[in-house]
């Protein structure tokens, strides 16, 4: 599969749905404004406050303030003029290389969908890698191969494309009718995966591990700030509807057992009180019962959208530049980052402490990435919790990793140049 630097990227529409998260949305749009893709548009489907964010960006802005993710995505689909349509959640930050890497596989006419790997809120741990979706609506993990791959359905199980990190060929998505509003929340994209596999049994899904987003899993009426569930009625309802539609086994026992294990782990980590587990499970069971009782309507028919003219977001490619040093030099490093940002770079600042603290990375509203953590602490998954590093050795290592994630010309198996400035490392 050819990489994004080796082929002309298709015109791509990025659909972002937002409701009640203006601060997260601003970061999401800031990251999209830094993409290496040279020919894409952004379609924002949002509530009134969301539509007011980032007023200077050239977006297609569509008002929608109803809690139904599928209906909102279909509004974006109706106005998407690209040959490829990508989706990202408003509480996610896309790496600058995300869209180019995600769109590149569509140069192969057999590819009808693509997905990347998604990192958790700390910016390092994996939230989702490669998986298939079963007829029961449950994910089945595949070996975590870091190389791009093209996979077809297998035994009725398509590759699962996480809703915050996925793209589809526009003609294929419209042929199956887009998203089904019966899935107002949860399994909406999995239902699309199943219907695409039925309509295009020889179609391929590209898994592009280097197409990465950071998903913060922001709080909502359904989960708290630590992403612990508060109310699982909508998830239970969707699980029951999904299994009924796609011929899976009744999901109640498996879903309840899976969620109970997750809640117990959260309890052992001190994230949820024991007294909360039973009420949360009760909401899940109520949703499962509602989904079993609800009338199952047919999937939506094929669409014949006539989107408005392509609203091109053209940006000159920008290089990743990494600055690093002790955390007490943060003010000077941020001043350097602001200058580099103004010159057209995408800066990353490494702020290290003499400790074993795990690393975190975030995108700032000013448009640069900040990575914080201990000199001897872990960053990437698989790192030892305690490691012996000298300052320049650690900065070199983290610089190489940051550049591979944020520089389109570099991949995981190509040595990266060390771009940090030694003068800032004292």
pLDDT at residue number 19: 95
Q: Which residue has the higher pLDDT, 70 or 217?
A: 70
pLDDT at residue number 317: 67
Place of tokens 């040279």: 38
Long-range contacts of 57-61 (CB under 8 A, 24+ apart): 57/29, 57/33, 57/313, 58/311, 58/312, 58/313, 59/29, 59/311, 60/308, 60/311
Q: 2-6, 18-22, 210-214, 405-409 — which is least confidently predicted? A: 2-6
Is-contact 156 135, C-beta < 8 A? yes
Q: How far is CA 362 from CA 117, 217, 225, 415, in A?
A: 17, 13, 16, 24
Structural domains in the chain? Answer: 4-215 (3.90.550.10), 233-293 (no CATH), 320-424 (no CATH)
Give Cα 300 distance to the centre of its chain.
Answer: 25
pLDDT at residue number 227: 82
How far is the C-alpha of 139 from the C-alpha of 141, rounded, in Å?
A: 6
Burial (CB < 10 A; 0-12, 13-18, 19+), residue 362, is middle
pTM above 0.95, yes or no: no
Q: How far is CA 405 from CA 35, 163, 412, 414, in A?
A: 12, 21, 8, 12
- The model's pLDDT over 115-125, given as tens digits with 9 standing for 90+, comes to 999 999 999 99
Per-position b or e across 18-41, b if 16+ CB within 10 A of its CB: bbbbbebbbbbbbbbbbbbbbbbb
Arithmetic mean of pLDDT, 349-373:
97
Arithmetic mean of pLDDT, 37-50:
96
Arithmetic mean of pLDDT, 10-31:
97
pLDDT at 415 over 80: no
Is-contact 82 170, C-beta < 8 A? yes
pLDDT at residue number 387: 87
Tell me the average pLDDT of the chain. 91
pLDDT at residue number 7: 61
**Nearest CA-CA partner of 235 in 159, 293, 291:** 291
Q: 23-37, 115-129, 308-322 — which is least confidently predicted? A: 308-322
How far is the C-alpha of 190 from the C-alpha of 159, rounded, in Å?
A: 9
pLDDT at residue number 249: 77
Arithmetic mean of pLDDT, 308-316:
84
pLDDT at 301 over 60: yes
Q: How confident is the model at residue 59 (pLDDT cuts 50, 70, 90)?
A: very high
pLDDT at residue number 5: 52
Q: How confident is the model at residue 9 (pLDDT cuts 50, 70, 90)?
A: very high
Q: 178-182, 253-257, 390-394 — which is least confidently predicted? A: 253-257
Q: How far is CA 143 from CA 98, 129, 369, in A?
A: 21, 9, 30
pLDDT at 178 over 60: yes
Give Cα 172 distance to the centre of its chain.
Answer: 21
Arithmetic mean of pLDDT, 387-396:
94
Arithmetic mean of pLDDT, 55-64:
96
- C-beta neighbour count of 260 within 10 angstroms: 15
pLDDT at 302 over 70: yes
Arithmetic mean of pLDDT, 197-221:
94
Arithmetic mean of pLDDT, 352-367:
97
**Nearest CA-CA partner of 212 in 152, 128, 321:** 128
Arithmetic mean of pLDDT, 25-47:
95
Q: HSE-up of 261 (CA within 13 Å, CB side)?
A: 5
Question: How many residues in the chain?
Answer: 426
Q: Which residue has the higher pLDDT, 172 or 314?
A: 172
- C-beta neighbour count of 201 within 10 angstroms: 10
How far is the C-alpha of 113 from the C-alpha of 395, rounded, in Å?
A: 37
Q: How confident is the model at residue 143 (pLDDT cuts 50, 70, 90)?
A: very high
Give Cα 341 distance to the centre of its chain.
Answer: 24
SS3 track for the chain: CCCHHHCCCCCEEEEEEECCCHHHHHHHHHHHCCCCCCCEEEEEEECHHHHCCCCCCCCEEEECCCCCHHHHHHHHHHCCCCCEEEEEECCEEECCCHHHHHHHHHHCCCEEEEEEEEECCCCCCEEECCEEECCCCCEEECCCCCCCEEECCECCECECCCCCCEEEEHHHHHHCCCCCCCCCCCCHHHHHHHHHHHHCCCCEEEEEEEEEEEECCCCECCECCCCCECCCHHHHHHHHHHHHHHCCCCCHHHHHHHHHHHHHHHHHCCCCCHHHHHHHHHHHHHHHHHHHHCCCCCCCCCCCCCCCCCCCECCCCCCEEEEEEEHHHHHHHHHHHHHHHHCCCEEEEEEEECCCCCCEEEECCCCCEEEEEECCCCCCCCCCCCCCCCHHHHHHHHHHHHHHHHCCCCCCCCCCCCCCCHHHCC
Strand partners, 92: 215
Q: How confident is the model at residue 264 (pLDDT cuts 50, 70, 90)?
A: very high
Q: How confident is the model at residue 4 (pLDDT cuts 50, 70, 90)?
A: low
Q: Of all residues in the chain, what percent carry a pLDDT higher than 70?
A: 93
């Amino acid at each position: 599969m050819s990489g994004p630097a080796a082929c002309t990227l298709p015109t791509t529409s990025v659909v972002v749905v937002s409701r009640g998260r203006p601060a997260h949305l601003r970061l999401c749009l800031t990251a999209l404004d830094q993409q290496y893709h040279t020919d894409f548009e952004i379609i924002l489907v949002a509530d009134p406050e969301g539509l007011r964010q980032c007023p200077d960006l050239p977006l297609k802005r569509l008002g929608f303030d109803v809690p139904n993710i599928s209906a909102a995505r279909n509004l974006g689909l109706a106005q998407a003029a690209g040959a490829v349509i990508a989706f990202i959640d408003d509480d996610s930050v896309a790496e600058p290389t995300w869209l180019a890497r995600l769109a590149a596989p569509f140069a192969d006419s057999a590819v009808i969908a693509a997905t990347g790997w998604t990192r958790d809120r700390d910016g390092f741990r994996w939230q989702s890698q490669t998986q298939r979706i079963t007829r029961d609506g449950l994910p089945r993990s595949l070996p975590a191969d870091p190389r791009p791959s093209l996979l077809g359905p297998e035994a009725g199980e398509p590759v699962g494309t996480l809703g915050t990190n996925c793209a589809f060929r526009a003609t294929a998505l419209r042929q199956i009718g887009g998203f089904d509003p019966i899935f107002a929340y949860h399994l909406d994209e999995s239902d699309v995966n199943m219907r695409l596999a039925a309509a295009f049994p020889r179609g391929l899904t590209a898994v592009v591990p280097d197409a990465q987003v950071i998903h913060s899993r922001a709080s909502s009426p359904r989960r708290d700030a630590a992403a612990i569930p508060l109310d699982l009625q909508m998830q239970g309802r969707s699980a029951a509807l999904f299994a009924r539609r796609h011929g899976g086994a009744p999901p109640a026992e498996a879903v309840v057992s899976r969620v109970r294990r997750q809640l117990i782990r959260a309890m052992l980590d001190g994230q949820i009180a024991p007294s909360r587990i039973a009420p949360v499970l009760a909401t899940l069971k109520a949703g499962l019962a509602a989904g079993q009782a609800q009338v199952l309507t047919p999937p939506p028919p094929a669409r014949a959208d006539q989107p408005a003219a392509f609203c091109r977001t053209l940006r000159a490619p920008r290089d990743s530049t990494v600055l690093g040093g002790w955390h007490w030099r943060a003010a000077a490093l941020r001043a350097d980052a602001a200058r580099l940002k103004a010159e057209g770079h995408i800066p990353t600042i490494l702020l290290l402490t003499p400790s074993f603290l795990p690393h975190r990375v975030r995108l700032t509203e000013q448009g640069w990435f900040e990575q914080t953590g201990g000199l001897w602490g872990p960053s990437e998954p698989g790192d030892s919790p305690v490691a012996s590093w000298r300052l320049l050795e650690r900065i070199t290592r983290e610089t190489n990793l940051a550049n591979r994630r944020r520089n389109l010309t570099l991949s995981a198996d190509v040595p990266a140049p060390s771009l940090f400035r030694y003068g800032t490392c004292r």
